[in-house]
Chain A
């Protein structure tokens, strides 16, 4: 099977042809957003990090921003910096330039303030967008597809229908030589032994146990029962009683294939197959990690109806809850119905076809209504 994608340098393939306007620090978010409002086809990346944090977190932010710039759905990148932040805009620009794509920057304090920076940035992005508009979609084999999978606002139908169906789509992609990314380490708690048994090597199994233990220790350090935070109040109302129950349902979305490697948050993955990225399950931080890893398309399984997309990666919303599908036409792309003669494998096949259609240009609900402009970057230490 195949899809129509945009050729990029370094052999990468994009599902979208945006110019990314990426803020390097929370203080540059306003100008970043304004620039994207001037030029059609731009996508903002806003976040709350980039300054007055400890070095491990600053490194994580820098790494994440570079990896986001590499995402093949971007034809070019403009970085918007304040000028005095802790992360270094030139280092980030250099990291993204290695992708072979055009990269430029605007620095608010050097430009003479916000309106001057807006004008400067808008001129740069206009030129980049006109150049990008000349790139045409070409046919690529589905082995070039990089799919992220996620579940959120889960209820009991997630673990029964939409997660296993998403998993069946993942299995198809891996069988066809493609790449699938999952994470949500908090939602491995209680199911880590099942994932570790699927690790491609003993080292990968050790890494799976390590990231789960690390996440659980961070939770326990707060001295409270995490129920209410995980599972969320909504999950509990939907019938999920414990994190173990939520996790065992959640891991079904990544299918049944061997897990080839575990990546740190913000790393760009290399090679093909099924991979884990260590990230919490919360949407703003998770979607960023998967975009940074290199996903062109994300399948998002939901029971209660999660609304968010991502600025430059299409997010396909799928639910097995008929009430949610009927109540939230703004947000849900696909209803997957078990019964009526449908098997999980058949539903997975339909989801896979949808992922290829979206990779080829079909718009998702979140893209159409522009929901998803406020992601974030996961950091661990304090703001200082």
Chain B
């Protein structure tokens, strides 16, 4: 996309950012999150289009992108962690769970 920035944060409420390039473990990002400067060191590789955490997210808490809930964390997530299906689950369309929703 020819963007200078390496990640995009879509809403000030978000606790994840989206990578606009293939990012590597140990890369350091200087970001502005909700008006505050923040330095995030990546704990894992994050491919183009995938997500990284901007803050600590305890298990069973909402993961937020576009300012809206996109799922629930299933493990402790540290700032700079790769966020994907290994540590977040959907709360919807869950026919495998009692009552159909988490």
Contacts and interface: CB of A to CB of B under 8 A. Distances in A.
Interface of A: 155-157, 159-161, 189-191, 194, 216-217, 219-227, 230, 236, 238-239, 241-245, 248-249, 303, 320, 322, 337-340
**Chain B interface extent, by class:** 20 to 34
Leading 8 A-B pairs by shortest Cβ distance: A156-B49, A239-B49, A220-B100, A242-B90, A226-B93, A245-B70, A220-B95, A239-B50
Interface in B1-51: 1-4, 8, 10, 18-19, 47-51
Contacts of A191: 68
B48 to A, nearest CB: 8
29 contacts: A156-B49, A157-B1, A157-B49, A159-B66, A161-B1, A189-B93, A190-B69, A190-B70, A190-B90, A191-B68, A224-B96, A225-B90, A225-B93, A226-B94, A236-B84, A239-B18, A239-B47, A239-B48, A239-B51, A241-B51, A241-B63, A241-B85, A242-B90, A243-B92, A243-B93, A245-B65, A303-B49, A320-B1, A338-B1
Contact of A244 (B18, B70, B85, B95): B70
A303 B49 CA distance: 10
Contacts of A224: 95-96
Instruction: Name which of A216, A220, A338 has the most chain B CB atoms within 10 A of its CB.
Output: A220
A189 B93 CA distance: 8
A225 B96 contact: yes
Interface string B63-88: 10110111100000000000111001
A244 B69 contact: yes
Secondary structure class of chain B's binding surface, majority of residues: loop
Given A160-B10, A190-B90, A216-B93, 12 more contacts: A216-B92, A219-B95, A225-B93, A226-B94, A230-B93, A242-B89, A243-B92, A244-B69, A245-B70, A248-B70, A337-B2, A339-B1
A244 B90 contact: yes
Contacts of A217: 100
Given A239-B47, A241-B84, A338-B3, A156 B93 contact: no
A339 B68 contact: no
A226 B51 contact: no
A83 to B, nearest CB: 40
B90 to A, nearest CB: 4
Nearest to A226: B93
Nearest to B70: A245
B3 A339 contact: yes
A223 B96 CA distance: 5
